[in-house]
Amino acid sequence: MKTESKLEKVLKAGHLAVTGECGPPRGAKPEEVIAKSKHLEGIVDAINVTDNQTAMVRMSSLAASVLIKQQGLNPLLQVTSRDRNRLAMQADIIGAYSLGIDNMLCLSGDHTKFGDHPSAMNVHDIDSIQMIQMVKDMRDKGIFQGGAELKGAPKMFIGAAANPFADPFELRVMRLEKKIEAGADFIQTQCIFNVDKFATWMEGVCKRGLHKRCYILAGVTPIKSLGAAKYMANRVPGMDVPKEIVERMASVPKEKQAEEGVTICVETIEKLKQIEGVAGFHIMAIEWEEIVKEICERAGLLPRPQV
């Protein structure tokens, strides 16, 4: 065990882990964070708390993580290099750990041009791979990125993201390996709809033995409507939504589309369970946290193990 993280304990014990997601509100409303997180209580092993997702200003991921921690749940702090230099990142990491948060996800972040402040400067003082290395050195060597001694190392379970579908596809496994070399303990992938392409990526992952060095959590998302399916297929960079999925959503009445989206999500999880190297699932039910329990029940992921 590298940390005291419940998520690490679940994975280390050989169970399929489950993580969920909670997007902080666009305002100072702590009750919204608490309400969202309560939908995930007892359903997931850790709750991702997004960091100004889609480059839109929201309550800070650190503040929202603390609110979730106060509910007795396990937040997974997201930190983007887009918004902070290395001093601010390290300060937030130390602060988060001092408040009982022991999971984090290192991300580059969406470009500000896609958000509500398109003229804002992207910081990117260091990239996500350098951030992973920095957190690992803080935890394992007790040193800051600049080399000075750190008095009280933050024992973070370090996560990173991977997109098996982005171009050039043949380099995606190599990029994953760089993150693992830097110190990533677990990976959460982009939403998976093209299971065959993901399986091809996982073949490359397993061929290099990366699944034995890092836990791979496969990302899934329930589709709420035909419009959402079309948007993800045509407007979201790096997302691979096969034509058959869009056609399947179109084949059912509008009032049944959300139900069909959940069924597709459950079927995807069942298929992913059969792929070597998959250590768990990251369920991204964006602004639909209440559906995660049904997905987990139908996919045989409940009850969660006690560790």
Task: Report, as an integer, the average pLDDT of 262-277.
Answer: 98
- Residue 300: which residues within 8 A CB-CB, separation 6 or more? none
Contact criterion met (CB below 8 Å) for 7 and 17: yes
What is the C-alpha to C-alpha distance for residues 175 and 146, in angstroms, rounded to an integer?
Answer: 25
Q: Which SS3 state, helix, strand or coil, does residue 307 take?
A: coil
Tokens representing residue 11 in the block: 């994975």
The kind and range of the H/E element at 78 are strand 75-80
Reduced 3-state DSSP string for 275-301: CCCEEEEEECCCCCHHHHHHHHHHCCC
- Summarize pLDDT for 156-208 with one digit per residue, the tens: 999 999 999 999 999 999 999 999 999 999 999 999 999 999 999 999 999 99
- Summarize pLDDT for 117-155 with one digit per residue, the tens: 999 999 999 999 999 999 999 999 999 999 999 999 999
Q: Which SS3 state, helix, strand or coil, does residue 239 take?
A: coil
Beta bridge partner(s), residue 307: none
What is the C-alpha to C-alpha distance for residues 162 and 107, in angstroms, rounded to an integer?
Answer: 10
Tokens representing residue 40 in the block: 């995930």
The CATH architecture one would assign to domain 6-298 is: Alpha-Beta Barrel (3.20)
- Reported pTM: 0.97
CA atoms within 13 A on the CB side of 244: 5
